[in-house]
Chains A and B, each alone.
Chain A
Amino acid sequence: MSPGPDAILEVEGVWRKYRRWERRPTSLKDAFVRIFQRNGLVYEDFWALKDVSFSLRRGEALGICGGNGSGKSTLLKVLANILPMSHGRVTVRGKITTLLDLGTGFLPELTGRENIALNGAIMGLSGAEVASHMESIIEFADLGSFINSPIKTYSAGMYMRLGFAIAIHVNADILLIDEILAVGDEEFHRKCIPELKRMQRNGTSMVIASHALGMLSELCDRVMWLNGGRVMMDGPPAEVLERYSPHLVVAND
């Protein structure tokens, strides 16, 4: 795990704390009243990430497995700088794009084309980049004549394809993916997985959090197993998943 010069993402000793209130004040009135109560402001610190370290090479795909609440989503959000971390260091040598949800920021009243422009801006694409990728996005999303209709008329599949198509056209160095691949149907997978593999061959690094172990072993060069916010294991997919699977069965019982 020595961070070589080709490491595009370095994560060193990252801790992330959540404050768990016994009864969290959610309003001014509540907060005011609590100050005067005995035990009114009792909370407990809960560590969602504990001393997580790893590094990622250019073009490498890292899978993250672990049960619910193991810290997978928190880790992705810390990597994207959506959530501030409590301690630690993250060094990014390039551009990060998130695929934490498909169609975030879509506006149902706008057409597909308008939503591509809007979503492109949200993802940080320039006007020229949006224009140059427009046809390719439309083609990948396979929307046909629907592209000029409001997206409230789209099927769930069209909606997901459009969200995915925009994200993969951002030309990011690092793509962070959270459970996206679990939601789609068979056809969606047939379209997306080869595309992700093609991007990996072209040098895009990925961090993919998923419950779908088959998908992780298919897409990833390495898998990291998180449990209670700690890295249990980090290594070749076959080895890590073999150790992790028994825990999965126990958890499901």
Chain B
Amino acid sequence: MSTSYEIHPSVKMTQPVYEVIGDANWNSWNKIARLIKHMTWRSLASRYKGSALGFLWTLVNPIMLMFVYTFVFKIIFQQKAAGVPFEVYLMTGILAWNFFSTAAIQASVSLVSGASLVNKSTFPRIVLPVSAVLANAVNYLVALPLLFAFIFVSGVRPTFAIFLLPFAFLLLTVIAIGLGALLASLMPFFQDLQHLIEVFFTMWLFLTPIVYDISLIPERWRSWYALNPMVGIVEFIHTVFLGQPLHEKSLGISLVGTLGILLIGLLIFRRLAPHCTEV
């Protein structure tokens, strides 16, 4: 289908080689880490600078969500969770889910919305989705004291599992980066993906034990259900904050799924991101 008649047949076509000898610009992880830090700060600053309440806005969103979801799922649908008040169960899962989904969605548009930057400068593109996720990680950490206060007031006492929080946080961050990088590299080529992604994440929310207890899923479907890597992560979040029993099997699936998504995401990103300005 293509016409390459412009090329003179005597020209030997070689694979392109771009080689930097000596002091390249992005040769150290330090510089890349520094840029990630700055870009994270940039996306936080662009959201909060010039708004009077600043970081308090990060807390308004989860508080409002808590009222709405508690009303709908506890009072209307009469949901219950094993051993803990339902609103605490709900809040713990919703905060983690919000971090994950907002981070992945914002990362997925990072190449498109950063097009002017991508088009004019040479920094490694992966910085964009990673810093979009990290900005949301900061927001999540800022909201955590509120969650702890809420858990405490509800009469739930933390167990030693709370020390696993850094690991749970890392899992959420890594899966968001993997998925964000994957979607970000496809987004420039298919702009309607953005609408699909939002629907997709809403469906995904309901396939994860957040607004209901996992015991409501019939036993015979449980093993299929747990193939969703977010199931194990959210169960683990419930273990960490509320001392619920640990499900090693679904956590194991999540671990493998998370690393798989990260690997695939980074590979596809490396393949497609250089071409993102061509469309």
Q: Could you tell me the distance in whole angstroms from the C-beta of A101 to the nearest C-beta in chain B? A: 5
Interface stretch of the complex, out of A80-88, A133-141, A182-190, A234-242: A80-88
Asked whether, in the complex, the Cβ of A47 is within 8 Å of the Cβ of B6, the reply is yes
Q: Is the CB of B116 within 8 A of A101?
A: yes
Contact with B along A89-110 (1 / 0, CB 8 A): 1111111111011001101011
Contact with B along A142-182 (1 / 0, CB 8 A): 00000000100000000000000000000011000000000
Q: How large is the interface on A (under 10, 10 to 19, 20 to 34, 35 or more residues)?
A: 35 or more
Q: Is A4 an interface residue (CB 8 A)?
A: no
Is there an interface contact between B21 and A51, defined as CB atoms closer than 8 Å? Answer: no
A117 contacts which chain B residues (CB < 8 A)?
38
The docked-state distance in angstroms from the alpha carbon of A122 to that of B2 is 38
Q: In the complex the two chains form, is A27's CB within 8 Å of B192's CB?
A: yes
A residues 109-127 near B (Cβ < 8 Å) are 109-110, 114, 117-118, 121-124, 126-127
Which of chain A's residues has its CB closest to B116's CB? A104
B21 near A92: Cβ-Cβ < 8 Å: yes
- Chain A residues whose CB sits within 8 angstroms of the CB of B35 once the complex forms: 121-122, 124
Question: Which B residues are CB-close (under 8 A) to A173?
Answer: 23
B residues 35-54 near A (Cβ < 8 Å) are: 35, 37-39, 41-42, 45-46, 49-50
Q: Which of A37-45, A54-62, A194-202, A210-218 contacts B (4 or more CB under 8 A)?
A: A37-45
Name the B residues within 8 Å of A50 (CB-CB): 6-7
Please choose the segment from B10-18, B139-147, B199-207, B258-266 that sits at the chain A interface, where 4 or more of its residues have CB less than 8 A away.
Answer: B10-18
Contacts of A15 in B (CB 8 A): 7, 13
Q: Which of B13, B22, B277 contacts A87 (CB 8 A)?
A: B13
B117 interface residue, CB < 8 Å from A? yes
Residues of A within 8 A of B249 (CB): none
The stretch from B91-99, B120-128, B236-244 touching chain A is: B120-128
Taking CB as reference atom, which chain B residue is nearest A81?
B18
**Interface members, chain A 13-69 (any B CB < 8 Å):** 13-15, 18-19, 24, 26-31, 41-45, 47, 50-51
B38 & A95 in contact (Cβ 8 Å cutoff): no
- Tell me which residues across on chain B come within 8 A of A47, comparing CB atoms: 6-7
B14 and A89 form a contact (CB under 8 A)? yes
Is B34's CB within 8 Å of the partner chain A? yes
B156 contacts partner chain A, Cβ-Cβ < 8 Å: no
**Interface SS, B side:** loop
| Chain B proximity of A183: nearest CB distance (Å) | 14
> Are A126 and B190 interface neighbours, CB within 8 A?
no
B19 near A92 (CB under 8 angstroms)? yes
A91 pairs with B19, CB closer than 8 A: yes
Determine if B45 and A90 form an interchain contact, defined as CB atoms under 8 angstroms apart: no
B275 and A84 contacting across the interface, CB-CB below 8 Å: yes
Say whether A90 contacts B19, CB under 8 Å: yes
Residue of B nearest to A127 (CB): B34
A18 surroundings in chain B (CB, below 8 A): 278
Quick check: A45 and B121 within 8 Å, CB to CB? no
- B25 near A96: Cβ-Cβ < 8 Å: yes
Q: Is the CB of A122 within 8 A of B279?
A: no
Q: Which residues of A contact B122 (CB under 8 A)?
A: 80-82, 96, 98, 124
A248 to B186 alpha-carbon distance, docked (Å): 41
Q: Are the C-beta atoms of A95 and B120 separated by less than 8 Å?
A: no
Complex alpha-carbon distance, A77 and B4, angstroms: 22
Q: Would A107 and B42 count as touching, CB distance under 8 A?
A: yes
Bound complex: CA A15 to CA B11 (Å): 11
The interface bits of chain B over 177-197 (1 if a CB of A lies within 8 angstroms of the residue's CB, else 0) are 000000000000011110010
Cβ of A107 and Cβ of B45 under 8 Å apart?
A: yes
Taking a contact as CB atoms under 8 Å apart, the answer to whether B14 and A84 are in contact is no
Q: Is B245 an interface residue (CB 8 A)?
A: no
- Find chain B residues with CB under 8 A from A124 CB: 25-26, 31, 35, 122-123
CB distance from A175 to the nearest CB of B (A): 12
Which residue numbers of B lie inside 8 Å of A, CB to CB? Answer: 1-4, 6-7, 11-26, 30-31, 34-35, 37-39, 41-42, 45-46, 49-50, 116-123, 190-193, 196, 274-275, 277-279
Q: Nearest 5 pairs between A and B by C-beta?
A: A27-B192, A109-B49, A121-B38, A124-B25, A104-B120
- Can you list 11 A-B pairs with a CB-CB distance of less than 8 A? A15-B13, A44-B3, A85-B18, A90-B18, A94-B22, A94-B23, A96-B122, A122-B117, A122-B121, A122-B123, A150-B49
